[in-house]
Structure 1
Amino acid sequence: MSGATASPWRQPARVWAVAFACVVAFMGIGLVDPILPAIADSLDASPVQTELLFTSYLVVTGLAMLVTSWISSRIGAKATLLAGLALIVVFALLCALSGSVDAIIGFRAGWGLGNALFISTALATIVGAASGGSGAAIVLYEAALGIGIAVGPLLGGLLGEVSWRGPFFGVVALMAIAFVAVAVLLRGPGEKRAPVPLSAPFKALRDPGLAVLAITALFYNIGFFVLLAFSPFPLGFGAMGIGLTFFGWGVALAITSVWVAPVLVRRMPRTTVILLVLPLLAVDLVAAAVFVASPPALVACIIVGGLLLGIMNTVLTESVMEATDLPRSVASSAYSAVRFLGGAAAPPIAALLWHLYGPSVPYAFAAASIVIATLTILIGRRALARIDGREADAADEAAAVLVGDAA
C-alpha cells in the first residue's frame, strides 16, 4: 500500500499509544508560552532569564539527540520511550514545586533530556510500526506534533490563569497517563537490536544532503522559536489570551502539516516547496516586525506563521527520512541535534535584542535567519537531488531499517 494513498488513521494500538504520548510531549514545547510573563512577574525574573526556560530545554534536547540512537539500540525502543517519559514526569513535577527561575531553568534541562529520549525514538517507532508506509506514519507524527503544540498553549493558558505552577502539574498528570499507555500497549514482535556506534550521528552529518538540511533547519528553527517564544511579550495579553493565540497558531500548523504539505509534495519537488514557503515565512516575520505594536495584526502574523511552519515541518521531516541510506533513527538524531540548537539560541537572543533595540528587531532577526535558510537550500540544492526523486512511502525500506524499534 502506498504511503501517498494509505490512510494514516488506520493504525495498530501500539502506534496510537506512542502517538498519544507524542501529543503530550509536544505540548511541553508551547506549554510555558502563556505563563512566561507570569513567571517573570512572580519570580522577579528578566525576560532574558525567562526565555532561558526554552534554551536550557532545547540545548539539552539537541545535545542528547546525539546519543539517543546509541541508547535505543542497546536497551530497546520501548525502554528508551519509558525512560524519557519518566524523566519528563519527574522534572515537570520539580518545575511545579520550584521557588526560583534558576531552579526552573535547571529542571527544564532535565525535562529536555527526557524529551530527547522520547521524541527521537518515537518517530522511528511510529515509522517502523505504522501501517501504510513511512509517508502515512510521518503524517500521523506531524498530526501529533500539531495537536500537541496547539493544545499546549491552550492548557497552559487555562491552568496559568490559576497559577503559573498549574501547567507543570498538568504535564505531570498527562505524561503519567502516557507512560502507562506506552507500557501497556506498545507490544509487538521481539526487537532485533543492531547496536549503533556512539559516533554514528556525528558521521551522519558528513553526508552532504543531511548536512544541508541540518544547517537549513538550524536557521529555520531560529525563526520558529522567535515566533513561538518571544511573541508572548509584545502581545501584552494575559495567560488565557496568549494561550488562545497560540492555540490558533498550533491548529494552523496542524492543518497544513497533515493536509496541505502532502498535496504540495505530490505536485512538486520537495526542494521547490521549501523554496516557496521559506520566503513567505520571511515576509510574514517582516510583517510582524512592522506591525508589532498592533496586537490584532501581530496575532494575524502568528497564525499565518503557523500555516507556513506546518508545511515546513512536514517537508523537512520527510526530506531527512529520505536524504540518506543511513538508519532513520541515526539521521533523525543528527538532524534534530543541530536544529534544536538553533531553537535554543533564538529565545534569549530575541529577548536581548528587544531590550536593546525594541520589539521589532527580534522579528527582523528571525526573518534574516529564514533568508539564510533559503540560501542554504539554494546553494546546496544539488546535494538534495535524492529527496526530490524519491517517494515518501518507502514502506519496505522503512520496515527493514526500523523493525528493531517496534517493541
Structure 2
Amino acid sequence: MKISLLTNGIYPYVIGGMQKHSFNLAKHLAKNKIHVDVYHPTSNNDINIENYFVDEELDYLSFIVIPFPKTPKFPGHYIYASYLYSKALYNKIDLTEAPNVIYAQGFTAWYFLKKNPFLNNLISNLHGLEMFQYSINLKNKLEQFLLRIPAKTIIKNANLQVSLGGKLTNILYLNKAKNNSVIEIPNAIDDSWLSNKVDFNDTSEKLKLVFIGRYERRKGIEEFHNVIKNTIDSLNYEVQFVGPIPKEKQIKHHNVKYLGTIHDSNEIKKILYNSDIMVCPSFSEGMPTVIIEAMTCGCAIIATDVGAVSEMVDKNNGWLLKASNIETGLSIAIHEAIKSSQLDKLKQNSIEKAKNFQWDCVIQTLIKNLLIDTTSLS
C-alpha cells in the first residue's frame, strides 16, 4: 500500500495539533512498512526533518514541499490561499498513477473533491471542526462562517472521513456527511510518552498549573489570565505558559512564568512531569494532543467540554468546563483542586486512561479501515 499524506504543515516545522498528528501519522505508517509521500508546505533550513525519524522509517518516507500560496491580506485570504494550496496539491499528484489512498488533513481535500466528488480513494480528516463550535464574539462568528465554506464542501462530498470522536461525529452528520462515511479514530501519542509515575509533587507547597499552546483567541487564554489575576494572590498555586504568548499579553507576577516556544519533547515532558494540572480552557477544540501528553505525564486536566475532549477527560481525572462560562468554571476547578485530597488519584487515573490513546494501537485501526475501504480501488 502507498499513501499520499497531504497536510498544511508538519511538526517540527510547524507547532500545532494537526501538524503533530501529520508527523505521527507518517512515522507510524512507515513503522508498519507502508510507503508514505508527505506533501507539506514548509522548507526550513534550520531543521532537518530526517533527524526526527529513524532509518527504518525513512526507507518508507518521501517528503515533497509544496509552497503555501501567498495572497494579499483581505477578509478570508487564508481560505482562498487554502484553496490554491489544495489546487497545487491536486496538480502535483498524478491521479492516473494514483496512490492506494490520499489522506487529506484539514482543507487539503477541497480542490480534489470539487473536481472529482466521486474520488473513492480519498480520506478526509478535518480534525477539530472548530468552525461549527462555540462562537466567542461577532468577529469569531464571521470567521467561522467563512471557514464553513470549504468545510461543508469536504464533509458533503467525502466518501470516507475521520472523526476524532466525542461531539465531532455528530457535527459531521449534522452537516450532511454521507451515510456511513464517518469512521471514528482518536488522536494518539507515541508510547514513548507513557509513564508509570507514582511519585507525585507535594501540593502542600504550591499547586502547579501548566498551559501549552499558541496565543489564539479561541484558546481561552484571556479567560485564564482573568482568573489568574483575580485569584493568584489569594490561592496557593503557580502557572507556567509554554508557547508564543506576546509580551504585551503576559501577566507580571512571580508565580506566573512564560517559557516561550519549546520544540524539544524531552523538555516538554520534564515540564509536564513536574506539573499537577494541565489547563486547556478553549472555546473550541478537536482532540488536543497536548492533553493526552499531559495525561501520560501524570497531570490531572482542567478542560472545556468541546470537540472530543470528553473522550479523554471526566470526573475521574479532572474537571470539564462549559464553553459558555469558562471563567467561573475555571475558578471553581482551581479552588477545588487546591482543596482536594484526591488529586494524586486523579493524576494516576490520567496515566491509566492515556494508555487508550497510543499510536501503536490507533494506527492498526486506521490501517484496517483503509484496507477495508480501498479493496475495490484500482
Q: TM-score, normalised by structure 1?
A: 0.28
Which is richer in helix? 1
Which is richer in strand? 2
